[in-house]
Amino acid sequence: MTPGIRRRLLRAAAGLLLVAVAAVGTFAWAISHGWFELPMSEIEARYRLPQSQFLDVDGVRVHFIASGSGPPLVLLHASWLSLRSWDALAEILDDRYRVIRLDLSGAGLTGDDPSRRYGIERNMELMEGVLAYLGVNRFSLVGTSSGGIAAFRYAAAHPGRIEHLVLINSAGLPRTPASNPNKPPPTGILGWFQSRWRPCSYWERSLGANFVLPHRPSPELVQMTCDMNRRNGWREIGMLYLKAFSTGDPQAVLARIRAPTLVLWGMDNRTLTHLEAEVFAYWLSGTTVTLRKYPGLGHYAYIEEPAMVARDLLAFLSAAEGVSAAAADQQPGR
């Protein structure tokens, strides 16, 4: 290779490097300024349903759906998801129950919180606001993942309001360093980008890791999760939520629960090991507990096999309702 050709190649390589650096810099600048975020109005237009309702609760525009008829049954969704994650299960349950589901703090189509009080306690307040609007006093409560924390804390704080409690792959137990949601984020350039930009491929991998083959998250679920988690200001909302999160003393909280409780768990849950189900059952020392595990299902068992989960949930609720009615009939004066 002649010196002239070598110089031309070096100049070309240097030019390509400058173009690449400029492209990365422009991309980083666009991320920092929210170019890839979506306004809530656009997300709502894509994902609201005909039965969607919105209610102002303490300054927060809360999205909820109430469907079916019968005893009230409230569903609390997992982190990063929305009330739409219950679609298939709710369609089965609302044949026999008045199914009430809401988008929790900073999630789905529920609006920003002017008080900036994102977290478990705020989720309970938003739920109470929706139930007050609907005139619901006593109800059965289902929670999954972080929604399970709000469910069991509410059941412990308000035993007179909860008919039955169902925990599906519930979070809320003491965490290990690997599973701690407040563990330090990745560092370096990759960590910087991941904390500010999560493309749909990220959500496909994240959701897929919590499904068990042959089950896979649908393209619709991936796209909806991707869109809902790039709402304007999503990064600040996530940081405030994690900052407010504390495991507390779940053993003491669970011991105060009096409602009959069903604990459902995917045996192949990679996020929360199925051994935690036994801990929940043991710490729920003030009530009766039914425990059911699903081989071949993961963290989103109710999405993977909604008919199976609905069958066990309905059987538990029917049996618990029969026991409650029998106990009431035995009271003096009845």
CATH code at position 116: 3.40.50.1820
Tokens of 286: 């003030």
Q: Residue 12: its pLDDT value, please?
A: 60
Q: Which segment of 227-231, 242-246, 321-325 scores lowest on mean pLDDT?
A: 321-325
CA dihedral 147→111→224→188, nearest 10 degrees, is: -80
When pLDDT is cut at 50, 70 and 90, the band that residue 332 belongs to is: very low
CB 150 within 8 A of CB 123: yes
Task: Check whether residue 129 and residue 266 sit in a common domain.
Answer: yes
Which helix (H) or strand (E) segment holds residue 29: the answer is: helix 3-32
Our count of domains for the chain comes to 2
Task: Check whether residue 212 and residue 63 sit in a common domain.
Answer: yes
When pLDDT is cut at 50, 70 and 90, the band that residue 29 belongs to is: very low
Range of the structural domain that residue 132 is part of: 40-172+180-326
Tokens of 97: 């129950």
Tally of residues, the chain? 334
Q: Hey, which bits of 193-280 come out as E strands?
A: 261-266
When pLDDT is cut at 50, 70 and 90, the band that residue 190 belongs to is: low
Residue pLDDT, tens place only, 198-214: 789 999 999 999 999 99
CB 224 within 8 A of CB 80: no
Task: Check whether residue 29 and residue 48 sit in a common domain.
Answer: no
When pLDDT is cut at 50, 70 and 90, the band that residue 220 belongs to is: very high
Task: Check whether residue 102 and residue 224 sit in a common domain.
Answer: yes
The DSSP code sequence of 234-252 is: HHHHHHHHHHH-----HHH
The whole-model pTM stands at 0.86
Instruction: Summarize the confidence of residues 139-166 as an average pLDDT.
Output: 97
Instruction: Summarize the confidence of residues 31-43 as an average pLDDT.
Output: 74
Task: Check whether residue 294 and residue 199 sit in a common domain.
Answer: yes
Q: Residue 14: its pLDDT value, please?
A: 58
Instruction: Summarize the confidence of residues 98-118 as an average pLDDT.
Output: 96
When pLDDT is cut at 50, 70 and 90, the band that residue 34 belongs to is: low
Residue 28: is its pLDDT beyond 70? no
- Cβ contacts of residue 287 below 8 Å, gap of 6+? 257, 258, 259, 260, 261
Residue 75's SS3 state is strand
CB 166 within 8 A of CB 140: yes
Task: Check whether residue 80 and residue 137 sit in a common domain.
Answer: yes
User: Mean of the per-residue pLDDT values for the chain?
Assistant: 87
Quote the CA–CA distance of 46 and 1 in Å, as a whole number: 58
Residue 189: is its pLDDT beyond 60? no
Neighbouring-strand partners of residue 137? none
Percentage of the chain modeled with pLDDT above 70:
78
Task: Check whether residue 64 and residue 196 sit in a common domain.
Answer: yes
Q: Which segment of 37-41, 226-230, 236-240, 307-311 scores lowest on mean pLDDT?
A: 236-240
Tokens of 183: 């563990």
Task: Check whether residue 246 and residue 147 sit in a common domain.
Answer: yes
Task: Check whether residue 107 and residue 7 sit in a common domain.
Answer: no
Q: Is the dihedral of CA 321, 120, 263, 303 positive or negative?
A: positive
**Cα angle 300-175-207, degrees, rounded to a multiple of 5:** 25
Task: Check whether residue 13 and residue 109 sit in a common domain.
Answer: no
Task: Check whether residue 25 and residue 45 sit in a common domain.
Answer: no
CB 230 within 8 A of CB 198: yes
Instruction: Summarize the confidence of residues 13-27 as an average pLDDT.
Output: 55
Residue pLDDT, tens place only, 274-310: 999 999 999 999 999 999 999 999 999 999 999 999 9
Quote the CA–CA distance of 3 and 5 in Å, as a whole number: 6
Neighbouring-strand partners of residue 30? none
Report the half-sphere exposure of 313 (CA within 13 A, side-chain side): 28
